[in-house]
Amino acid sequence: MPVDPSQRGFNAFGNNDTRSQYESIYRSIWAMIGNMYYQPEKLANWAEWEHKFDGKINSADDLDLAIQQMVESLGDQWTRYVTRLERIQVSQEQRAGLLGLGIQVKKDENGAFYIDYIEWGSAAHNSELRRGDNIIAVGATVLAGKSVKEANELLKGEVDTTVDITYAIKNGQKRTAKLAVAFTADQGVVAQVTDNNLLYLRLPDFENRRRTAEFLNAIKGVGEKMQGAPVKGVILDLRGNPGGEITESLVVASIFLKDGVIVTSKTRSGRVYSKQTYEVVPPLAFSMNDAVDGSNDFINSLLEAPMVVLTDENTASAAEIVTGALKDNKRATIIGKTTYGKGVGYATSTGPTGGVVTITGLEYLTPSGYNLARKGINPDMESDHPRGEVKDVQLLKAIEFLSNKNNNK
């Protein structure tokens, strides 16, 4: 998920985990949230939490529970605290072969559970389930009356087993999906040229520099195979891309933009807001030569050839930064579905008890100034992937669009 470079590596915790330090550790996290949380209007009653647990934190477990209650009071799904015991539980489940089904759920105002996110390549992704479907039961267990945490615990299964999910689509029709539980393989980067000389690029995430390097090397490999010849179009597939580091999204966006703003981030420190605008400068001759030896025509086509970005409801975070940059700069046509609508970044730190605190400390705007949080980025051309359809309808539409664009030149 996007992390502003200026916030990388913050330390909300002290280094001494003795019992006498528990309250000061708690208050340091309280102060950190109060200083950097991106929506200060939610902190109107924050003072009440500073001394709420004075004299009541006598162990590491007490500290974990106190911090968790404080953080959960914000009602922000991204600002959270994962206790040491919860992390141990996840590790034990993984070793025991208990895996998630690739579904994250939320509760609506009526208490019904709906799918908020589906992981690409997971058991859920390979089914007919879609974001927004209501989950009624997992196996024989009905979810009504459960908490979100309890529901997510049920949405797991042992490797090589099948889990039945009873769900309802928007018209209320009930259906059952049988999900085969298996490890989700690393999707990896895909870079290939189609028969009609279109460059198809699949980027599964913006996790780290290694992933970005894999992406750049894949593009370089294509350029070398083509001996520097240009492509007639580019398809960047960001469907199911959950995001990652904001720094990596800047690198990827710059591959396809000659110039222009990529994104503007907004952070808070006390009463002061700061804005950071990231722009692309025009390509420099020496950097182009270094990228792919002797293949300037190929590189120029990355900057100039007609382009499509494929998105879906699970395109999120850093992937939305790239989508917004290419759309607002009129570099690409967006085909698919409205993106997830995250629009925020956060900073994370591990404390002396082993718990991990994550604080939403950044929001970002697309080049046009659009705040996509909870709204997402709408496609220029909407294209659904019908339930049960074997063909990749959205990809076929992108190919057709670019082919027609080239034929009409």
Q: Look at residue 382 and tell me if it is in a domain.
A: yes
Report how far residue 167's alpha carbon sits from residue 154's, in angstroms, rounded to the nearest whole number.
Answer: 14
Decide if 347 contacts 8 (C-beta within 8 A).
yes
Per-residue model confidence as pLDDT tens digits over 248-299 = 999 999 999 999 999 999 999 999 999 999 999 887 665 555 554 445 789 8
Predicted pLDDT at 7: 47
The residue whose two tokens read 């019992």 is: 19
The CA-atom distances, in angstroms, between 172 and each of 167, 361, 375, 384 are 9, 38, 24, 19
Looking at residue 98, what is its pLDDT? 87
Domain termination residue (choose one: 180, 206, 239):
180
Q: Over the stretch 345-400, which tens digit does the pLDDT of each residue have? A: 999 988 888 899 999 999 999 999 999 999 999 999 999 988 888 899 999 999 99
Residues 260, 329 contacting (CB under 8 angstroms): yes
| Cross-strand partners of 273 | 268
Confidence of residue 15 (pLDDT cuts 50, 70, 90): very low
**What percentage of residues in the chain have a pLDDT greater than 90?**
76
Q: What is the pLDDT of residue 288?
A: 53
Same structural domain for residues 342 and 372? Answer: yes
The pLDDT assigned to 294 comes to: 46
Alpha helices in 187-245 (DSSP H): 209-225
Residue 390 confidence (pLDDT): 87
The answer on pLDDT for 59 being more than 60 is yes
* 166-176 pLDDT tens trace: 999 998 999 99
Type of residue found at 35: N
pLDDT at 283: 76
Last residue of a domain, one of 113, 146, 180: 180
Residue 329 to residue 310: CA distance in whole angstroms: 16
Q: Is the distance from CB of 4 to CB of 362 less than 8 angstroms?
A: yes
Residue 19 has pLDDT above 90, yes or no: no
For residues 106 and 222, membership in a common domain is answered with no
Name the 3-class secondary structure at 51: coil
127 & 240 share domain: no
| CA–CA separation, 238 and 14 (whole Å) | 39
Kindly state whether residue 46 falls inside one of the protein's structural domains. Answer: no
| pLDDT > 70 in the chain, percent | 92
Residues 322, 260 share a domain: yes
Same-domain check for residues 322 and 210: yes
**Whether residue 378 sits in one domain with residue 330:** yes
pLDDT band at 230 (very low <50, low <70, confident <90, very high): very high
CATH of residue 152's domain is 2.30.42.10
Instruction: Note whether 327 and 391 are same-domain residues.
Output: yes
What is the residue-averaged pLDDT of the chain? Answer: 91
User: Looking at the 3D structure of the chain, how many domains does it have?
Assistant: 2
pLDDT at 94: 77
Q: Are 128 and 196 within one domain?
A: no
The first and second tokens of residue 28, run together, are 């340091």
In terms of pTM, does the model score above 0.95? Answer: no
Domain membership of residue 21 (yes or no) is no
Asked if the model's pLDDT at residue 3 lies above 50, the reply is no
CA dist 152 and 98 (Å) reads: 13
19 lies in some domain:
no
149 shares its domain with 286? no
pLDDT score recorded for residue 138: 98
Cα–Cα distance, 133 to 147 (Å, whole number): 18
| Residues 264, 364 within the same domain | yes
258 domain-assigned: yes
204 located within any domain: yes
Residue 363 covered by a domain? yes
What confidence tens digit (pLDDT) does each residue in 141-168 have? 999 999 998 999 999 999 999 999 999 9
Block residue for tokens 């002797």? 294
What pLDDT does 296 receive? 78
Please name the residue that has the structure tokens 């709408």.
378
Do residues 379 and 297 share a domain?
yes
Range of the domain at 130: 90-180
CATH code where residue 326 lies: 3.90.226.10
Exposed (0-12), middle (13-18) or buried (19+): which is 42, by Cβ within 10 Å? middle
Q: Which residues pair with 347 in a beta bridge?
A: 359
- Whether residue 404 has pLDDT greater than 70: yes
332/201 same-domain check: yes
Q: 18 pLDDT exceeds 80?
A: no
pLDDT band at 314 (very low <50, low <70, confident <90, very high): very high
| Residue ending a domain, choose from 160, 180, 200 | 180
In a domain, 337, yes or no: yes
> What confidence score (pLDDT) does residue 184 get?
80
